[in-house]
Every structure is written in structure tokens, then in C-alpha cells.
Structure 1
Amino acid sequence: MTMPKFELIGIEANKNGWGPVSTGASTDSVVPFQQFNKADRIGRVADWIGIDRFYRRVNDRYNERMYGSAANAGSQFDYVHGMDDNNFQLVDSSRPVQRGTQRNYRARQLQIRKLMQKEQERREQANQAQNLKMKRSIAKEQQRAFKMWQRRGGNARQGPRGGRGFGNERPKERLPSVAVRPEWVVIEEMDFPRLSKLSLPGINNGEDVNDHQYGTLQFYDKGVDRISVKNSAALQKCAGLFYNITTTEDPIIEELAQKGVGNVFATDIILATLMACPRSVYSWDIIAHRVGDKLFFDKRDTGGFSNPVDTLTVSETSSDPPSFEGGGINNSKDLATEAFYINQNFRRQVVKRNEESLKMKHASAPFEEQDAGESGTTYKYRKWNLGVGSNGKPVELVCRTELDGVMLGPHGEQQTLTIKAFNEWDSSQSGGVDWRTKLDVQKGAVLATEIKNNSCKVAKWTIQALLSGSDAMKLGYVSRASVRNTAQHVILGTQLVKPGEFANNIALNLDNAWGILRCIIDSCMKQPPGKYLLMKDPQSPVVRLYSLPEGTFESDHDSSENESDED
């Protein structure tokens, strides 16, 4: 088999120009002629690789006008695949997703959300600040209105109840602390508006009388401060004795009077009742004994702790105080008894009773029972100089004060404590706030409500702490375990305040308090020796000074009659 012969086609060189030589028909048919550029003109260089199709020039329109379009130049020499591209179709005709662009979009959306959240938080903070400012303003206005209402007599002049449309309803009748007898003579009337204007500045903090300090103080248990609404603790029934010996029955005061140490004698609760009398609404009474050139402020012997001076009133200054009469567990007498036992148990529970205690110069007071154990209370006898009286002699006040505990300060120093407790009985009836929902987050609001509803009691507590020279006051919040159960209680929290700062917070003016006491002392010292009675009128903001016949409140018949009048 012979192999085909391979012969090269002859190519002629064009020596006289550019491009192939067109000498014969055979050459033109073998090598097709393609113009170098469509509508080729003189001056245009052949474009073999089609640069115009890949790079755009600034003068594209000029080149197109002068030399024609180069989009299809040299297309006969392009490589063409054997497959027919016109019949090819993609399976997925959707637009491809650009991953980088999607990530940028999400980042921008997240940034926008953060900016919107910050803006929302800023607006909420601004609204909260404005609301807090408004609440403070409202609280100040309410406190100002309450003071004005109290100066005008409180509920005593309140007419039909609250102005709520009960025109035919009479105001609540408050009973006097003791029935006034016809033979009692009114010597003087001291109204609260006049007493509220008095002032006696420059009274010092008092000084201890020699070594007359009696009793022991237990250290405060700081674990109690961890108690909260969510971590409440049951109020325990703590055994112990409580002494409320009045002035004339105190052997220490009798000894000091005989030695000439002072000429006015009283206990801290009696002085606190007199100094805070413009805040009182309920009736109370105090006996004044004029013996020689001395004055003794005393309490009536009512048996137990039912004396109105010792009573811890509940919601006394509230806009809707509890009723005096009627059944149920929420009358004023039962609430006062409940508050008394709560305070005594709380005072003993929050101290370390079985550990080392702080002993005063004398282990116990002379009026304490020797075999009854420690009472957990320290008695300090203190003295104040109230200036010169109308007779030219100085007015020297001697008072028996009490302390409830001791604690270590931030630098290890010992700080004496006055321990008291608020009690929640029924927030729906007392007009207060629910402690279980507000105490942990709004303790200030709860305290403000208690100050408003118990203005007189809180003022008396503060004055007692100031008279005793206490470094701090520990306040407890005790609530009923059930609204209808008065026997079981729980501790929901505690709070520590300084007596001086707390007095300013409750608008207690000490200069005015000393002025009221000095006015009452002067009124009594002007009288001849005898027995007198200071009583707050149950319906009017007035304290009356009565002259009592000899032997009043001393016979068994009088005592039983007075007790029946109170009931």
C-alpha cells in the first residue's frame, strides 16, 4: 500500500506590499481574505489580537467614527468549539448569591440594631430620671401637705370622711386616754400651732451622770442583714423580761433627786412623748408631780403595758387609721399590742444572746430582778442644762435612757444601737405598699410610707435614740406570715440609719422639740406643789394642763375605773 504524498503548498512572499499576493484564483480560494478592520481606512494598523474588545479607550467613539467598529474584527480567525452553544442551557437559572455582600448586609443590620437598642436605652433612662424627679417632687408636696394637715389637727378637724361623698357620715370618734372628771380644773391650754413655733437652740447632746450605767449589751448579729424578701426569716418568740418602771418608782432617780442632781426628772419615753406631741393624733396623758422645787414627769399605773405613753401606735397618722372599736384583729388596740410583742422579739432575736456581751459599770439596775437573767437593755442616766428658769435657777433635766445593742463599726470601734421594728399588718387596709413586692427594690418608698403613716411613733423612736446618745438605729421590717394571722410573723429586711441624719429626713426639728419641752416645764414649774395632768385632747390639737385633787389615781377604785374607761 502506497502512502499518500505530503506536499507543501507554495507560498509567495509579497515583496511590494503588505498582505497576501493576489495573483491567481487558486490562492484566493485556499487562503480566505479578511480585512484587518471592518470598514478599514488608511492609517489604521491591523489588530491581530482584538485589543479593542478587551480594553475601552477614552477615544472609542473617535476610533469608531474614523476607523469603524472593532467588535467583530478578526472573528474568522477565532477558535470555535464544536458544540452548538445555542442549544446549551443552565440547570439553575437563578442569580448567584454573593457571599461577601450577604455578610456585609448582615453586619450592617446588626450594627443598626445595636444603635437602635442604645437609643432606646438612652430614652428609657431619660424617662426614668424624669419620673424619679417627678416622684420626689410629688413626695415633697405630699409631705408639705401632711405637715399642714397635721398642724391643723389631723383627723380631729377632718369633717366628713375624706370628702368622698359620704356627707352624712360622722368622723371617727377617738376616745380620751382617761376620763376627765368634773372636779379637774383646766389651768392652761397649749395648742399645737403655737408649740410648733417654739425653739430652744444650743442644747448640747447631754452628759452621763457619774457612773450610773446599768445592764449589759449583746452584740448585733450581722447575719441578719442578709435577710430579704426572697430570703426571709421567721420571727422567733424570745423569752425575757422587759421593764417599764416609771419615774417616781425608779430608785436611781430618787437617789439623784435627794442628792440635788437636777430638778426635772423623767424617762426617755415620757420626754419623747412631750417633745413629739405636735405629731400625735391619739390621746395620751402624763402626770406631773411638783415636789418642793423639783418636777417629776410620771406615767399612770394602768397595769402591764397598756399605758398610752408606752403604746406603740400603728398607722396613727395615716389618712385612714384603724378603728378604735369593733371586732376583728385590725383595731387600734390589738394592733398596738401586736406591735409591742414584735418589737420585743425582734430586739432580742437580732443580737447574739449566747455569746460574750458588753457589760456596763453595773451589771444590773436596782429595779431588775436578780434571778430573772439579763434583759438585754442598758440603762444610762443622763443630764441636760435647759437654761435658766423664771425663778432664776437653772433648769437641769435628768433622764433615764435605754440602749438595745452594740455592734462593731467599719474601723473596729464599738457603736451602740437602738433597735426598733416596723410591722406590716394589711397593706390593702393601711394604705401602704406591699412589702413583699417593693421592699427589696424600693426600700426608700416603703420607709417613706411608714414615716407618713407613723409619724409620731417614728419621731419618738428618733428622740429616744438621740437622748440615749445612740450611735445608730437598726430598723426592722416585720410582716405577718398571713394577713389573718397575728401570731406568726416573718422578718423581711433591716435598715441602718444615723439618728441625727434620720431626724433631718423626717423633718424633726430638735430646737423646736427642746422648745416644746421647756414650755411645758415652765408651765408646770409655775404651779404650786401638787399633782397635775397633761393630756392631749382626743379630737383637737391641744394639750391641756389639769390640776388634780390629792389622791387621784392612787386608790384601787380609781385604777379599775380608769381601766374600764380605756376599754
Structure 2
Amino acid sequence: MASFTLPPIHDNPGGAWGPSTSTLPEQFKFKDIPYAPYSKADKLGRFADWNDSQAGAGVNQTQAGVLGGLQGQSAARGPGGRRTQTQAQAFGSGSASAFAYFHVEDEASFSLVDNYNKPTAPRRGGFARGGGRGGARGGGQYASNARGGPQRGGGRGGFVSGGRGQGQRGGRRGWRDWEKNNRTRESSVVISPSWSMLEEIEFHRLAKLRLEVDEPVDLDSYGRLFAYDKTYDRITTKNEKPLQLVDRIRYNTTTSDDPIIQDLASKNTATVYTTDVILSVLMCAPRSVYPWDIVILREGNSLFLDKRDGGPFDTVTVNENAADPPQDPTPPNPQDKDKPAVPETPSINSATSLSLEATYINQNFGFQSVTEGTAVDLAHPNPFYGPDETDPLASCGYRYRLFDLGITEDEDIKICVRTEVDAFQQGANAKEGQGLVTIRALNEFDPRAQGAGGAPDWRAKLDSQRGAVVATEMKNNSCKLAKWTVQSVLAGAELLKIGYISRATPRDNTRHVILSAASMRPSEFAAQLNVSLNNGWGIVRSITDICMKLPEGKYVLVKDPNKPVVRLYAVPLSTFTADEDDGEMMFGEEALGDATE
């Protein structure tokens, strides 16, 4: 027969609510421990606080930490799947606040490294959990990029940040950053402690300058030009043509060594004297990433902008503006005694190797794509070709042009520029400056190598999707293409020919094939590249004004290797002389000679 026994009742005669402590059974040995309810979703706090005088001491405090240490500011599920704070505070409130989880203490030693806005709501498909795949299959999401603008995640790959990423197609900012080589670059010239820095100009200040310049005045022309071979415009990936090694001589003399410029300077023809190669670097300075330097010589009322022999002006960069540009191997550390001081073997896809390869390709493509049977002599012969020279000259014409940089009619600030053209169109009057052509070449090395910048395979995409190839090159080589366009505009060329040249095999940097050639008008191409000539002339005028206020002497304008800054240094007159830079000049000439052989 079922029975029911009443539990014992422990009465408290004192009148207080609850049983007295003297009548409690022995099993209630934790009677002095404060009660602290917790939830399974609460964050784990500290088990014991030995520095809190109000929390007790000894074993009782440790036991209290075990019971109350899980209390924290939990977040329970609310309507619509969101987590709320109100329920957690009510459930977890108690007397064990000494063991609560405090968010501020855990992150006191951390610093903010990324402050871009995370998406608050998906475009469609309901709520997306951070840490999951977020977004519907058919609807994309917008994620804020580094500049604060929307970035399309799109479709099945449109995942929000915080989970498995944004898929392999779109990717996300900072993806696989640990695999990227964020090595700092070295300066193009060693900054001596004896140099004194006079000016420091940030690129964002240079980008705001504007100056309108009228059409130039042609002073004289020198050299011999060959006609451009139109058969190269009909080359496709189906009938590719091998790139040949053509033995020709072409001069790239600096400003101060040019006898024509020296003669013009003796007549006070202009205030500033330079070449189109040097001037294009200065006009496109805000786009540059790699370091460079310009030697400035102030003599009387004249200013000469020079380059160093074997410096960055003698080679062509590759993927300078890519998000992950090519890198050079790490130089050995002489202070590291554990590792031998053996330099790492440079790869054919390193920055220096690719630069020499691109220089070799540009020279030979320009030599090969002209017809030497049709030649036009300009007003004067080549000023750098001596009577003792026997090697054949390359097709090259020098045009000395005068630009007026004066803002008002009273200002007499002119710049004399030696410009170069590579060929002329058949049937045009090249002597009168008509149908002039400049020839350049883009090169593909290995689409899967580090520093390729996500370029598509040219053999598969160049004929069917040329726009995608051009857009990628405009992104990865923005500075190089801008300089080529500015040089064509300065020379007064009607066409800019760009060849697309790839390696015969990705692992061999000595054999190349011509896949295609494109023609474009420099002014129209400048608009596509968003190149502002007025901004470039504004930069030139500002640097001229700064240097003309300085006393006579030698100065160096240096681009910082890792920051968008240019600095102007005052240097001794003996700097960069032949005796001082003999070893450096020989190294540059030998390296360039080895690449062209």
C-alpha cells in the first residue's frame, strides 16, 4: 500500500524567516557561501579573486569561485534570433560580482588595427550570423571596403566577413596576409648623414596641384626614324611571333651631358632643362610606389634635372602598383652568426630580374617592329653618335621642345625637354612632326607566380577578352603606363604602340613571343588612365619654385621607398661624380648588359 511521509520541518523559534543555523543538517556545510546563479551561455570569469577583501579568503573563497565564477554578462536569444542583454543581467545578478566577467580587462592590452564598418544587414536572404556563411544563395551582400564604400560580395560567394570568408572568387580584404612578404624596400640612393633635408612633400599635397600649359614650341629635331611595320598589328595568339635579339645602339644620355641642351642653356633658352623620361617620373610621382631619385643642379638662373647612371630610370618596372608586387630576396644579415652570409639566389620572378627582363623586351620589341628599308632623316643627325662608332643606330628621333610654365604673362619660366619618338607611320611626313609613333611593350611572366597581380592567361584571354587583360595591366602597372602616355604626349606622338609579349615557357626568361600589339592615341589613353597633365605640370612648377629659391648647388629629390613622400636634400657638389660612383655605375651597366645578351 502506498504511503507518504512528511519531510522534517526545522522550526526557528526566533521568528526570522527560514530555519536556524543550529538546526541545519550536517550536509549543508557550504552554508556561508553566497549563492550566485549562472547560465550555460555565461562567459567564464575568474575562479578566485585573491585581491578582493570582500570575497572571503581561503578555501571558502575558492569554493565560491567554483559556484559563481561562470557568472557574466551573457546574451540570451531574443525575438528574431538576436541576442539581448536584459535577460542575462536579471538571471545572472547576485552577490558574487567579484567573479563576474569584465570585457574591458581582457582587451586592455590590445590596440585597434582595423576600423572598417561591418555590414549591419544583408542585402537579402534574412539574417547572417557572424562566423557562418551569411547571405542567400541567390542574393549577394555588400561589405564595406577599406575606403568605406560598398563592395559587392554577390551571389553564392557573397559571404560576410567573420566566417569562412567571401569565397574564392571575391575574396576579402586581408585574405592570406600571412603569406605575403611585407618586406620593406631599400632606398634607390644611400642617404648620407652629411645631407641636409630641406623639404618633405606628401603625395596627397602633390595631387592637388594644377597648371594649364599651352602647346609647346619645337626648337629642333635630331636623329633618324624608320617606319613602323604594320604587320605587327595583325599578330594574334594563333600566329604568335618570336621576339628577336636585334643588335642596335640607342642612347639614353642624361640632361647635363647632352650637348644640344648645353648649347641651348648657354643661350638662356629656358629656365629648366630635362628629358621626357625624367619629367614623366616627376609628373606621375603620386602613382609611384618604388623608390627613385632625381639629381637637381642649380647653376645661375638655370635648373638641370638629371638621372644617375645605372639608376631606376634605366630600367622598366613590372607590376609596381599591384596589391602584392614582386619582391627581391632578403639580403644576408652580417650580424647573424648562426647563418652563413651567403646571399639568396635571385629568382627569375624577383623584382630585379623582372625589371631587367622588361627592359630587354622593350628595347628589342622597338628595334624589331620597324622597317629599316624606309627611313627618314630629321633636321640633324644623332648628336650622340660619334664618328668612331660602327654599330648600326636604332630608330630614334629626338625632339627638343619648349613649354611655358608661366602663370601670368610677366613670368618667364620655361622648360626645355628632350623628347624621344621611336618610329613613324608609313606615308606620313615625319620631318614636319606628323605620324610619329612611340613603341612600348608589356610582358607576361607567370600568372601563378607571386607578384602576378591576378593577371589572366594572355594566350587564353587576349583575343577574346582583351578588355580584361588591359584593365588588369592598368591596375598593376598604373605608374608605368602613365609615364609612357606622358612621354608620348610630351613628344607630340600621334600613336602609342603597346606590344603584349609573353615568355615561351613560364620557367624560361630568355625566350619570348609576341602575342599581339595595340594602337592607341596618347590623349585618349591618358583619359582612360585618369592621367591629368595639368596636375603633372603643377608638380613640375612647384618643384621649380622651391629649387629656384635655393642657392646654387646640387640637390637630390628622393622618393621614400616605403611611404608616399618625396624629400629634397642638399648634397655636396662631388656627390654622384664619376670617381665616387664608379663601382655603382659599373654594376648597373653590367647587370643591364647581361640582361640584354
> What's the counterpart of residue 126 of structure 2?
none
The secondary structure found in structure 2 opposite 1:427 is: coil
Q: CA deviation at 1:168?
A: 10
Matched, 1:314 2:324: no
One-letter code aligned to 2:515: L
Q: CA deviation at 1:242?
A: 1.6
Matched, 1:204 2:214: yes
> What's the counterpart of residue 518 of structure 1?
541
The secondary structure found in structure 2 opposite 1:340 is: helix
Distance 2:180 2:515 in 1: 38
The secondary structure found in structure 2 opposite 1:458 is: helix
Distance 2:428 2:568 in 1: 48
One-letter code aligned to 1:419: I
Distance 2:382 2:574 in 1: 33
Distance 2:382 2:543 in 1: 33
Are residues 224 and 518 of structure 1, via their aligned partners in 2, closer, same or farther at CA, if it must alter by over 3 Å? same
Q: Deviations for 1:333-372, whole angstroms, at most 9, x for unmatched residues?
A: 111111111011101111102x121111113224556533
Distance 1:228 1:374 in 2: 29
Instruction: Using CA pairs under 8 Å that are at least 6 residues apart, name the structure with larger relative contact order, 1 or 2.
Output: 1
> What's the counterpart of residue 193 of structure 1?
204
One-letter code aligned to 2:459: R
> What's the counterpart of residue 43 of structure 2?
none
Q: CA deviation at 1:409?
A: 7.0
8 Å Cα contact 1:251-1:367 kept in structure 2: no
Distance 1:144 1:491 in 2: 41
Matched, 1:330 2:349: yes
Determine which structure has more spread, i.e. the larger CA radius of gyration. Answer: 1
Q: CA deviation at 1:558?
A: 4.1
Matched, 1:427 2:435: no
Which of 487, 502, 506 does residue 529 from structure 2 map onto? 506
Are residues 170 and 489 of structure 1, via their aligned partners in 2, closer, same or farther at CA, if it must alter by over 3 Å? closer
Q: Deviations for 1:461-492, whole angstroms, at most 9, x for unmatched residues?
A: 00100000001101100000000111100000
Q: Deviations for 1:168-188, whole angstroms, at most 9, x for unmatched residues?
A: 977221110011111111100
8 Å Cα contact 1:342-1:421 kept in structure 2: yes
Distance 2:423 2:179 in 1: 51
What stretches of structure 1 of length at least 5 have no aligned partner? Answer: 1-137, 146-160
One-letter code aligned to 1:198: L
Which of 250, 266, 270 does residue 258 from structure 1 map onto? 266
One-letter code aligned to 1:450: E
Q: Count matched residues.
A: 404
> What's the counterpart of residue 490 of structure 2?
467
Q: CA deviation at 1:143?
A: 12
Q: CA deviation at 1:521?
A: 1.1
Matched, 1:394 2:400: no
1:150-229 → structure 2 map (5 Å cutoff) = 163-164=174-175, 166=177, 171-201=182-212, 203-209=213-219, 212-229=220-237
Are residues 308 and 263 of structure 1, via their aligned partners in 2, closer, same or farther at CA, if it must alter by over 3 Å? same
Q: CA deviation at 1:557?
A: 3.8
One-letter code aligned to 2:390: D
Are residues 224 and 169 of structure 1, via their aligned partners in 2, closer, same or farther at CA, if it must alter by over 3 Å? closer
1:111-122 → structure 2 map (5 Å cutoff) = none
Distance 1:476 1:528 in 2: 45
Which of 505, 508, 517 does residue 485 from structure 1 map onto? 508
**Please, what TM-score do these two structures have when normalized by structure 2?**
0.64
> What's the counterpart of residue 497 of structure 1?
520
Q: Deviations for 1:122-173, whole angstroms, at most 9, x for unmatched residues?
A: xxxxxxxxxxxxxxxx9xx99998xxxxxxxxxxxxxxx9623656977221
The secondary structure found in structure 1 opposite 2:413 is: strand
Q: Percentage identity across aligned positions? A: 44
Q: Deviations for 1:87-115, whole angstroms, at most 9, x for unmatched residues?
A: xxxxxxxxxxxxxxxxxxxxxxxxxxxxx
Distance 1:217 1:165 in 2: 50
Task: Return 366-375 or 532-541, whichever deviates more.
Answer: 366-375
The secondary structure found in structure 2 opposite 1:457 is: helix
> What's the counterpart of residue 278 of structure 2?
270
Distance 1:378 1:442 in 2: 35
Distance 1:559 1:380 in 2: 31
Distance 1:411 1:389 in 2: 35
8 Å Cα contact 1:178-1:565 kept in structure 2: no
Are residues 535 and 331 of structure 1, via their aligned partners in 2, closer, same or farther at CA, if it must alter by over 3 Å? same
Matched, 1:455 2:478: yes
Matched, 1:344 2:363: yes
Distance 1:214 1:144 in 2: 52
The RMSD of aligned alpha carbons is 2.9
Q: Deviations for 1:28-64, whole angstroms, at most 9, x for unmatched residues?
A: xxxxxxxxxxxxxxxxxxxxxxxxxxxxxxxxxxxxx
One-letter code aligned to 1:437: A
One-letter code aligned to 2:316: L
Are residues 171 and 563 of structure 1, via their aligned partners in 2, closer, same or farther at CA, if it must alter by over 3 Å? farther
Greater fraction of residues in helix: 1
One-letter code aligned to 1:483: P
Are residues 425 and 223 of structure 1, via their aligned partners in 2, closer, same or farther at CA, if it must alter by over 3 Å? same
8 Å Cα contact 1:408-1:414 kept in structure 2: no
What stretches of structure 2 of length at least 5 have no aligned partner? Answer: 1-141, 150-171, 330-343, 592-597
One-letter code aligned to 1:396: K
Distance 1:411 1:309 in 2: 31
Are residues 342 and 142 of structure 1, via their aligned partners in 2, closer, same or farther at CA, if it must alter by over 3 Å? farther
Distance 1:143 1:402 in 2: 39
> What's the counterpart of residue 166 of structure 2?
none
